[in-house]
Structure 1
Amino acid sequence: MAFLGLAQCDESGSINVSRFGPKLPGCGGFISITQNSKKVFFCGTFTAGGFKAHVQDGKLVIDQEGTETKFTKQVEQVTFSGKYAIKNKQPVRYITERCVFELREDGLTIIEVAPGIDIQSQIVDLMAFKPKVAEDVTLMDARIFREEKLGLKD
């Protein structure tokens, strides 16, 4: 199982963490890690560049959207292939502060949403493609959005 950063994601579930315009930081061990993990979780904020949010009463409140979308029609460079993951039946999830996507054969599907977030206006409308929305979307655990211990043990 691998937990990795989410920089740019497209409608096929492919990820770019290796090229941004003229900058080419490279992929390091990213490809080896993702292709050899039984499950992959990509984690990051939904937008970038000035994004601000806070939690209040067990809900997520977006104060300022980022200026750059991370969910684009096509990534600049494929560092992780969603198509390859589907072909190999590798479970993949994309976790942001406002929702969780699951990679399915028909594309990225919203399976969880943060309390206080509107799926249409605060997720779908801000993406360069239209994700699927699961019929049984669940709320992310409200404890995540409160200032208290989660009760996790070692």
Structure 2
Amino acid sequence: MVKSYKGAFIKKEAAPEESHSLSVKDYMATQLIKFHEHQTVYEAMDTLLKKKISGGPVIDEEDNLVGIISEGDCLREVVKGKYNNSPRLPGLVKDYMATNIVHIDADVNIFEAADMFLRMRFRRFPVLKEGKLVGQISQRDIMRAVRDTSEVNWKH
């Protein structure tokens, strides 16, 4: 009769699970192109084209976030018929910017941010810390965060 002998079985302790909390502040853009509420729509459109961006935050004289201006806001002005065969669009950024601003706190994790992108269908969110604009997060930034942290166990 043959007996099987496995030897002494020593239970290995599991290595501590590596976890990484991914926050918006770790992946947001901080060198922002900002617009001022008293710029003309034409100046904003020119900046969007020159910088190859689709929109950005609008600030007031005290550097407070007061809106978001986008290519769509500029195009709405053109479509309204106010273009009048002139390359100069009348009006100021404050007259055309979106003011119902949805922002993200800098400490929100990227999974919550990704969920917000999917639910609200925005391209970007301004990032605030203690009420002040500190950055902007885009869908691309979220994808970069996931790519950069593959093979890591995420902690939500």
TM-score range, shorter chain: under 0.3
TM-score normalised over the length of structure 1 = 0.23
- Please state which structure has a larger fraction of its residues in helix: 2
Greater per-residue strand proportion: 1
Per the normalisation by structure 2, the TM-score is 0.23
Which has the higher Rg, Structure 1 or Structure 2?
2
